[in-house]
């Protein structure tokens, strides 16, 4: 099972992919939520990292689409954002996302959240 990184910033994708590369999972990349849904529908994914602000389908709409269906709602979703007001958003982000990381992403914070979500029993 793989990890899906959805972000319209290639540098952010590359950084997250490099950090997560040692976990032994396939890394899949998408530039927006529409592309992310396409990958999700064709690949076995165990964790999603998504940016908040993206063209076509932003991270909130992407996460709500996933949570709204039965097939993928169990997959943990981590929001990666440069917006510091997001934790207080009217959408109540914590009901949609399993974790929120602020950019620039810290290696330790990303790995900590990912390991807690993928291997909660450890």
pLDDT tens profile 28-79: 999 999 999 999 999 999 999 999 999 999 999 999 999 998 999 999 999 9
Structure token digits, residue 9:
């910033």
Per-domain boundaries in the chain: 2-47+58-76+91-118
Share of the chain above pLDDT 70, in %: 90
- The reported pTM is 0.91
What is the SS3 assignment for 28? strand
The percent of residues above 90 in pLDDT, for the chain, comes to 73
Contacting residues for 122 by C-beta, under 8 A, at least 6 apart: 115
Class of the CATH-defined domain 2-47+58-76+91-118 = alpha beta
- Residue 107 makes CB contacts below 8 A (sequence gap 6+) with 19
Let me know: does 93 contact 3? Beta carbons within 8 Å.
Answer: no
- Per the document, the length of the chain is 122
pLDDT > 80? residue 89: no
Confidence of residue 90 (pLDDT cuts 50, 70, 90): very low
């Amino acid at each position: 099972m793989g990890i899906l990184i959805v972000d319209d910033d290639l540098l952010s994708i590359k950084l997250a992919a490099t950090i997560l590369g040692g976990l032994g999972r396939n890394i899949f990349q998408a530039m927006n939520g529409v592309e992310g849904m396409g990958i999700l529908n064709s690949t076995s994914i165990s964790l999603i990292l998504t940016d908040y602000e993206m063209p076509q389908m932003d991270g909130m709409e992407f996460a709500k689409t996933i949570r709204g269906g039965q097939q993928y709602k169990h997959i943990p979703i981590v929001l990666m954002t440069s917006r510091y007001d997001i934790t207080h958003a009217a959408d109540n982000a914590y009901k949609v996302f399993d974790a929120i990381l602020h950019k620039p992403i810290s290696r330790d914070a990303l790995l900590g959240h990912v390991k807690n979500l993928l291997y909660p029993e450890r």
